[in-house]
Chains A and B, each alone.
Chain A
C-alpha cells in the first residue's frame, strides 16, 4: 500500500488545513475574547518511525506535555491526534482560559487545552469535506517525568503515517506554540487519499 501522496493531494490537504486553522483561530478568538493570530501551519507527512527523533531535540530540555485524543469520522476517516507543548506554555493558556490552579488539577488543564485545540481544528477540517467527527476523551500520555521521545515511540508504534502540523498561535499578549501530530493508520491513509481525489475532481 502506498502512503505517498501525489503533489496535488498534498496541496489539497495543505489548503484544507489552512482553512481549518483559520476557522479554529476565529473560534478561539471569540471564545477567548482576544485576537488570535495564526501562522500558516507547515505540514509534513512522515513515517511514524521517524517521529520520536524529530521531536526529541525540541522537547529535550523542557518539561513537555503530550496529550492524545482519538477521532473517528465517516468514510473511514480515523486516527489519533497528539498535541505536544511545553508546560510553561500550558500555564499561560490555562490562565487565559480562566483556570485558577485551585479549582482544577494540572492534568485537567492539560487535557482541556489540548482537547479544545484538537477538536476546533479537526471540526474545521471535517466541515470542509462534509464529514463529522466524534472524539474519545483526551488522555495525558506524559507530563513532567517526561521522556517525550519514549512516549512518542510507544504511541507512534501503532500507526503507519503521521501528518505533522506545526501550529503556532500568537495571542495579543501571549505567544503559544505547540505541535500537533495526526497519526493515521494505513487503511485510513488510502481513505483520505480517496477523499482528496474526490475534492480535486469537483474543482
Chain B
C-alpha cells in the first residue's frame, strides 16, 4: 500500500501512549508520547523487561492481563474509574487537577508480526479530563447536600433537616432507653430590634447569637433554626437537669455581652423552654416540641431572659387558657 508511510508519523504524533511488548513482556516499542511523559528513551530500554523499566506498575495484575491477551488473542481493558493509572505519568494539567498523575483508559490488544510471533500492544489514553470533571461533580454534590440541610444566614441546620434529626433521635432514645431533652428558644423582642436597627442589624444579632450558642454545644447535639428568630436544640443522652444547665449557660452567654453592629451595642436576651422526652409512640417528637413550646411561652410570660422547664400541671392550665 502506498500509504504505509503514514503509520509511523501518526503513531509518533498520537496524543495517546502506545507500548508494545513481546511474549516475554520485553519492550519492543514506545511511541513519543510515552517516551516524553516517562522520560525514557526507546533506544535505552528496547529489549528490557517492562517491569524493569516501569518499576511501579502493578506487576501481578498486569502479567495476568497480558497472559489473557496472549492466550485468548482477545483484547483486555482497564478503566481509570477502577484503576486510576497503570503507568505513573505526569499529566499536562498541573494547575487544574488535584491528582498528581494522569488518569488512564487502557486497552491491551493482541498483535502478530508477519512471522506469526505474538505481541501485546498497550494503548494508554489520557482520561484526566473525565477524572477532573468527576471530582468536581463529587465536591459539588457534597456542597449541595450540605446546603440542603443548613440555614444560609445562620449556618444552623434548617428546620426540615433539624426536624428529621429530632425524629430519629426520639426513636433512638426510645429504643435504647436513654434520656433526650429539647430546648426551644426565642430572641426576645426581635421585632423591636428590627425596627430600631433595621433588618441587617437583626440579621447580625441572629448570626452572633448562633455562633455563641454553638460554642456551648457538643458535637452530638442538633442545633437548628426553627422559625424567624426561634431556634431548637436536641440534646442527646441528656436528662432535664442537664438540659436546664445548658439552657442557663445559653441565656447568660447571650445576655452578658452586647452584640456590636455598626459601632452600636445591641443588648439582647433569649427566653428558653426546656422539656425532656416522656411520651411514647409515633408522634412523640410532636408532643415533645409542644411541651417545649409551652415552657417557652411561660418563659416569655414570666418576663423573658430566663429558662423555664415544662411540667405536667402547667400544661392543663395553659391549654385551657389558650
The chain A residues found within 8 Å of chain B, CB to CB, are 27-28, 30-31, 97-99, 103-105, 107-108, 111-112, 115-116, 119-120, 123, 134-135, 137-138
Contact = CB atoms under 8 A, between A and B. Distances in A.
Interface in B57-104: 58, 60-61, 64-65, 67-68, 71-79, 81-83
Contacts of A104: 61, 82
A115 B105 CA distance: 15
A203 to B, nearest CB: 27
B79 A137 contact: yes
B155 interface: no
Given A103-B61, A107-B82, A112 B76 contact: yes
Contacts of B60: 103
Given A105-B82, A107-B82, A137-B107, A119 B64 contact: no
B71 A27 contact: yes
A119 B82 contact: no
Given A107-B82, A108-B83, A119 B74 contact: yes
A30 B71 contact: yes
Contacts of A105: 82
B309 to A, nearest CB: 47
6 contacts: A27-B72, A115-B76, A116-B76, A137-B79, A137-B107, A138-B77
Interface residues of B, number: 21
Contacts of B71: 27, 30-31
A27 B105 CA distance: 26
A31 B72 contact: yes
Given A103-B60, A103-B61, A116 B79 contact: no
B16 to A, nearest CB: 14
A21 to B, nearest CB: 14
Contacts of A28: 72
A193 B117 CA distance: 35
A116 B68 contact: yes
A103 B75 CA distance: 20
B193 to A, nearest CB: 51
Contacts of B81: 107
Contacts of B73: 27, 123
Given A104-B82, A137-B79, A137-B107, 19 more contacts: A28-B72, A30-B71, A31-B67, A31-B68, A31-B71, A31-B72, A108-B82, A108-B83, A111-B77, A111-B79, A111-B82, A115-B74, A115-B75, A115-B76, A116-B72, A134-B75, A135-B75, A135-B77, A137-B105
Nearest to B58: A103
A91 B170 CA distance: 42
B157 to A, nearest CB: 29
B75 A119 contact: yes
Interface string B19-51: 000000000000000000000000000000000
A66 B61 CA distance: 23
Contacts of A97: 64, 68
Nearest to B109: A134
A101 B73 CA distance: 25
A88 to B, nearest CB: 21
Contacts of A138: 77
B121 to A, nearest CB: 13
A137 B105 CA distance: 9
Nearest to A110: B82
Among B58, B61, B78, B82, the most chain A Cβ lie within 10 Å of the Cβ of B82
Given A103-B60, A108-B82, A123 B74 contact: yes
Contacts of A119: 72, 74-75
Contacts of B76: 112, 115-116
B54 to A, nearest CB: 17
Contacts of B83: 108
Q: What are the nearest 9 A-B pairs in CB distance?
A: A119-B74, A137-B77, A108-B82, A31-B71, A27-B72, A120-B72, A107-B82, A120-B74, A123-B74
A98 B64 contact: yes
Among B74, B75, B107, the most chain A Cβ lie within 10 Å of the Cβ of B74
A116 to B, nearest CB: 6
B283 to A, nearest CB: 33
Contacts of A123: 73-74
Nearest to B106: A137
A7 B74 CA distance: 32
Among B58, B61, B77, B107, the most chain A Cβ lie within 10 Å of the Cβ of B77
